[in-house]
Amino acid sequence: MAVLQIATRPFADQRPGTSGLRKKVKVFQQPHYLENFVQSVFSAIPDRAGQTLVLGGDGRFYNREAIQTILRMAAANGWGKVIVGRGGLFSTPAVSTIIRARHAHGGIILSASHNAGGPDHDFGIKYNTANGGPASEKITDAIWAASKAIQSYQTLDSADVDIDQDGEFLLGDMRVEICDPVAEYVELMARIFDFAALRRLLQGPFRMRFDALHAITGPYAHEIFEERLGAPAGTVVNGVPLTDFGGGHPDPNLVYAKPLADHLFAEDAPDFGAASDGDGDRNMILGRQFFVTPSDSLAVLAAHATAIPAYRQGLKGIARSMPTS
């Protein structure tokens, strides 16, 4: 398979933030637009040769096409291995988990977070570093600088690959691993939390509902709550990721998750409710007929952290909250 050097010109609007680059799908679909940004990311990582990259997204429109483009470019740019979630799917916390568990050099996450998905809506791409967290300002500045100076990008002259079957294969000289996007994250949760105690809770009179908003957390919630912890079928709703999120916004608030809020404020409400955003790194928590503000949910977790097996010795600190305050 030949490595192709494709001539291009800079786009003026590719400055990333810590949440990466977010634009309308039609912007990303412009010739060379996605490729320019991906090459700029790779150019900002000069020690990438032979390293491992994690790749996946929230399943929104254009996710699968972008995966194929990035795989070809990664092979042409000297990456040693790319780990892809089956179907091109990974939540942001799962990418962080895989990066750290597999000692990967970094990961590319395809998501526009809580923004709507579909051909007329939003797409995004961000890079996480070897610690599993978002790229530092130093790296995003380097990406921005590369995007302004780019004259060409490298890609592999190859056909699309099958990302729907687990296994390993070569793409040029680069190994590609297609893996279960849920399993390693669930195993990490089982090491952190007391699954036995939670199983007893969910198999008793305690009732809950989790609304995945047809975004990425559905498969994770099905596996954790219904399969591992034994919650009744139907505990997880809107659990199948869809390219347009079922026509809704995967934004866990009282506006876009109103059906969940209505359910928790009903006469026969369950004890607990939750929803997550598009890529699974923010949440909304509700109790029976009350709403928990994101900062309060973090405070409750911190106050009771020693009840969690992984934090029995206490917390060293809280660097960043998952919920938005």
Give tens-digit pLDDT for 110-162: 999 999 999 999 999 999 999 999 999 999 999 999 999 999 999 999 999 99
Q: Among 131, 151, 181, identify where a domain stops.
A: 181
Annotated active-site residue in 113, 147, 276, 297 = 113
- The residue count of the chain comes to 325
pLDDT at 154: 98
CB 84 within 8 A of CB 179: yes
User: Are residues 206 and 173 part of one domain?
Assistant: no
Domain that holds residue 210: 193-311
Is 49 inside a domain boundary? Answer: yes
Is 318 inside a domain boundary? Answer: no
Task: Give the count of beta carbons closer than 10 Å to the beta carbon of residue 206.
Answer: 13
pLDDT at 320: 59
Beta bridge partners of 208: 272
Give the DSSP H or E segment for 192. helix 183-192
pLDDT at 318: 81
Is 187 inside a domain boundary? Answer: no
User: Are residues 94 and 12 part of one domain?
Assistant: yes
User: CA 142, CA 135: separation in Å to the nearest integer?
Assistant: 11
The residue whose two tokens read 């390693």 is 184
Structure tokens at 133: 């967290």
User: Are residues 65 and 153 part of one domain?
Assistant: yes
User: Are residues 62 and 33 part of one domain?
Assistant: yes
User: Are residues 227 and 90 part of one domain?
Assistant: no
pLDDT at 324: 47
pLDDT at 323: 46
Residue 202, CB-side half-sphere exposure with 13 Å CA sphere: 24
| Rama region for 172: left / alpha / beta (φ>0; ψ in -120 to 50; rest) | left
Measured CA to CA in angstroms, residue 129 lies from 11, 96, 105, 140, 319 at distances of 24, 9, 6, 11, 16
User: CA 150, CA 286: separation in Å to the nearest integer?
Assistant: 48
Is 317 inside a domain boundary? Answer: no
The whole-model pTM stands at: 0.94
User: Are residues 197 and 168 part of one domain?
Assistant: no
Residues of the chain with pLDDT under 50: 321-325
One DSSP character per residue, 14-79 reads ---BTTBEEEEHHHHTSTTHHHHHHHHHHHT-TT-TT-EEEEEE---TTHHHHHHHHHHHHHHTT-
Is 239 inside a domain boundary? Answer: yes
CB 156 within 8 A of CB 4: yes
User: Are residues 177 and 200 part of one domain?
Assistant: no
pLDDT at 317: 85
Is 7 inside a domain boundary? Answer: yes
Q: Is 219 helix (H, G, I), strand (E, B) or coil?
A: helix
Pairing of strands 152-156, 167-171: unpaired
Q: How many helices (H) and strands (E) does the chain have?
A: 10, 14
Is 325 inside a domain boundary? Answer: no
Residue 113 annotated as catalytic? yes
pLDDT at 319: 65
pLDDT at 295: 75
User: CA 41, CA 30: separation in Å to the nearest integer?
Assistant: 18
Is 15 inside a domain boundary? Answer: yes
Domain tally for the chain?
Answer: 2
pLDDT one-digit tens code per residue, 35-77: 999 999 999 999 999 999 999 999 999 999 999 999 999 999 9
pLDDT at 17: 83
CATH number of the domain residue 229 falls in: 3.40.120.10
pLDDT at 1: 83
pLDDT at 18: 76
User: Are residues 171 and 58 part of one domain?
Assistant: yes
Q: Among 146, 181, 216, identify where a domain stops.
A: 181
Q: Among 155, 181, 207, identify where a domain stops.
A: 181
